[in-house]
Chain A
């Protein structure tokens, strides 16, 4: 047991109802091993965002447990959990709230107590990893959408998280920005959980996928196998784009 590290993410029996009584999760079980890249697929309203907000303790109080690298998510260690779980939200304008790119990337590590040269170094490394080092002193709203999304990824990488969680990372990106982001995500040696409707993107980036539907994990397996299962896809309102055949795409 001591030789193998605990999985980056371990969710067991997670159920949750919103205060208005609407039950969004009905017992979710999901384990993501260290270094894995997993796509979380599911139709609108499946509970994907609700699940994501449980991973760093924004939502809680339901049944079941969430562990990040062995550490249970609860009130006592919420600060450490938020350093370990890096969430990239869907709209980069929500994520980038500081006046300059540099300050935004520095926000997380500075909140964790980093200062001075160490902080500068973190910021530089994170921006380098997403190819945005030349934009440190620009205000976020002067960047293109694709650049903003990359900076949003850097803000989270700067915290050196155990697991990177991306909510719809390919939405609103043009084909070139989409590919650039894919290259960046593929180059990272960090555990990734990617929430998406973009099935070709899941196939391109994630060897494994899980389908969340009506608050439970309905399928879990190699991405190509899931996408080729037409009945499964139809049952969960997941549609491949016109003309896209997962059988003919070369393996990752």
Chain B
């Protein structure tokens, strides 16, 4: 795969997890998340089991704990929401350190925190071991609507081109003595955004012309067909299968 589009979540490496075909990993993470979400919140120790499973995956992928923990920070808005729940929820109340908290609120908070953290951690591991380009191939392979995958790959390809155009326009603005300060200048910024939109739109038309000229008829030709062997599927299935086992044991106990 191309060395180019290393996104910030990606950590290059050559572990068994990195080498798995992208669509196997996507399917495995999806199945894992389904199992986690459907686990009853009272099965507290099952969530511990899931965390251990993810730690095992991280170790196999040789991704350090710090890397995962730092990327878990995007979860913070949900944490804030969860912290509020015991205070605002209705129903039976209990005393913790002199505070009166709602019992159902506490369970709700735990539910959001545990499931959210596990889901985000699994996604961080997926992103950490799979390049963006590969993810798109995987999504294509899993029969995600082709249009969505195409839009996403054009966003990767033209993101830098458009950022560059934006930067040039900003330099041109500032060279003529304009600094955006306060509400009075929003009009100018809005006009820049409009110009940027028109330029992007025109580029889209020209790109479409170039695609049609090379035989594009509405579907992207298959260039890299990602395939997975039975063994690779089996390896990828290890995570959700183990999670399912933990879940079933948790329910019966």
Contact = CB atoms under 8 A, between A and B. Distances in A.
Interface in B37-69: none
Contacts of B201: none
Contact of B5 (A87, A99, A110): A99
B231 interface: no
Nearest to B221: A110
B148 interface: no
Interface stretch (B9-17, B115-123, B189-197, B204-212): B204-212
Given A79-B215, A98-B157, A138-B3, A103 B223 contact: yes
Contact of A94 (B160, B203, B221): B203
Contacts of A91: 206
Interface residues of B, number: 30
A63 interface: no
Interface residues of A, number: 36
B235 to A, nearest CB: 25
A119 B225 CA distance: 12
A111 B216 contact: yes
A137 B223 CA distance: 13
Contacts of A111: 214-217, 221
Interface string A152-186: 00011001000000000000000000000000000
Interface string B198-239: 000001001101111111110001111100000000000000
Contacts of B221: 106-107, 110-111
Name, among A91, A99, A142, the residue most crowded by chain B CB atoms within 10 Å (CB to CB). Answer: A99
A182 to B, nearest CB: 23
Given A93-B161, A94-B210, A103-B224, 15 more contacts: A79-B215, A82-B213, A89-B206, A93-B203, A97-B207, A99-B133, A106-B223, A107-B211, A107-B214, A112-B215, A115-B225, A137-B2, A137-B3, A139-B2, A141-B157
Interface of A: 53, 56, 58, 79, 82-83, 85, 87, 89, 91, 93-95, 97-100, 102-103, 106-108, 110-112, 115, 119, 137-142, 155-156, 159
25 contacts: A53-B209, A56-B213, A58-B209, A58-B213, A79-B215, A79-B217, A89-B206, A89-B210, A89-B213, A93-B161, A93-B203, A94-B207, A99-B133, A106-B221, A107-B216, A108-B214, A111-B214, A112-B215, A115-B222, A137-B3, A137-B4, A138-B3, A139-B4, A141-B157, A141-B161
